[in-house]
Amino acid sequence: MLLDDEVLAVILAVVVIASILGVALTLRDYYSVEPFTALGLLDSSCKIGDYPKRVIPGDNVTLCIYVYNHEGKPIYWSVVYKIGSNETLPTQEKPSSQPPIAEWRGVLSHGANETRIIVITIPKELKIGEKVALIFELWLYDAGRMEWVYSGRWNHLYVSVVG
């Protein structure tokens, strides 16, 4: 035989592995999506880094939020803005107990993301010298239960309140 048997065997082994990998990847795209969402907090130019460190009560602060959907289905999301402290930060299971100040909503397809510039208001009631956390929680709408469900994703930014 012109083509050596051993060479053919090696080529076949590579092709069999490639074939199995191809089938697995094709089916994985449709049937085994590991669902997750992501929330990011960015600066006013929608980049990581230049976050405000000091805020003045009553002032507006421009920030940017980033939401990514990998749930395997389209989602209706809401980012809720709260102000809290070390003791009132959210956890993966529970949202912050603080009242919401503002919220932003949107809809995303599977695999899509959205970056949105937001303007938040710093409440006038904050005391000068206080260190507070600007909390952003990601909530998803559950159409079956007809209610918003906390996703377990949140970001927070510590700022000092100055006069």
Partner 1 sequence: MKIFIAALILTLALTALLANAEVSQGDFDARVGEALARLERFNMKTDIDGIVARLGEAVRLWESGKRDEALRVVDGVNAEISGLEERAWVIEVQFYLGLAVRVLAFLSLPLIVYFGLPRVYLRLWYYFRRRWLVASRR
115 sits near partner 1 (criterion: CB under 8 A): no
Provide the β-strand partners of residue 138.
79, 153
Q: How many CA atoms lie within 13 A of 35 on its CB side?
A: 11
In the complex, what is the shortest distance from the CB of residue 101 to partner 1, in angstroms, rounded to a whole number?
15
Asked if residue 57 lies in contact with residue 124, where contact means CB atoms within 8 angstroms, the answer is yes
Extract the tokens encoding 120.
Answer: 């938040």
Main-chain phi, psi angles of 14, to 5 degrees: -65, -45
19: contact with partner 1 by CB under 8 A = yes
Using the rule CB under 8 A, give the single segment among 35-43, 88-96, 119-127, 144-152 that binds partner 1. Answer: 144-152
- The verdict on 26 binding partner 1 (CB under 8 A) reads yes
Contact flag: residue 10 with partner 1 (CB under 8 A): no
Q: One-letter amino acid identity for 155?
A: N
> Rule CB under 8 A: which residues touch partner 1?
1-3, 8, 11-12, 15-16, 18-20, 22-23, 26-27, 29-30, 72-76, 104-110, 112, 114, 141-144, 146, 148
